[in-house]
Amino acid sequence: MPLEHHPLSREFPQQLDALRRLLQRDGHFARLAEEYEALDKRVYEIEAGRAAVDDLLLQGLKLQRVALKDEIAELLQQAR
């Protein structure tokens, strides 16, 4: 299975306008998005073998990423 980044633009392709608007106008949303992107990058680096961590830590990072994605999805839904 090839490794992939999961940028918000790929995760929410139908909501790109709302994503861009919130990134520009909502500081809280922008911080969540920044944190999500940093977690995604870290998970990718670990899965690519560029950083060594145990499986439990990797799973925890993935769960954090999912929780952030859920929170972002909620905010995007409210912005419609």
Domain ranges of the chain: 8-78
CB distance 39 to 61 below 8 Å: yes
The reported pLDDT for the residue numbered 18 is 95
Q: What is the pLDDT of residues 1-50, one digit of tens each?
A: 568 889 999 999 999 999 999 999 999 999 999 999 999 999 999 999 99
For residue 52, pLDDT over 90 is answered with no
Handedness of CA 49, 51, 55, 57 (dihedral sign): negative
The reported pLDDT for the residue numbered 1 is 56
68: tokens are 């952030």
Q: What is the mean pLDDT of residues 43-69?
A: 94
The reported pLDDT for the residue numbered 8 is 96
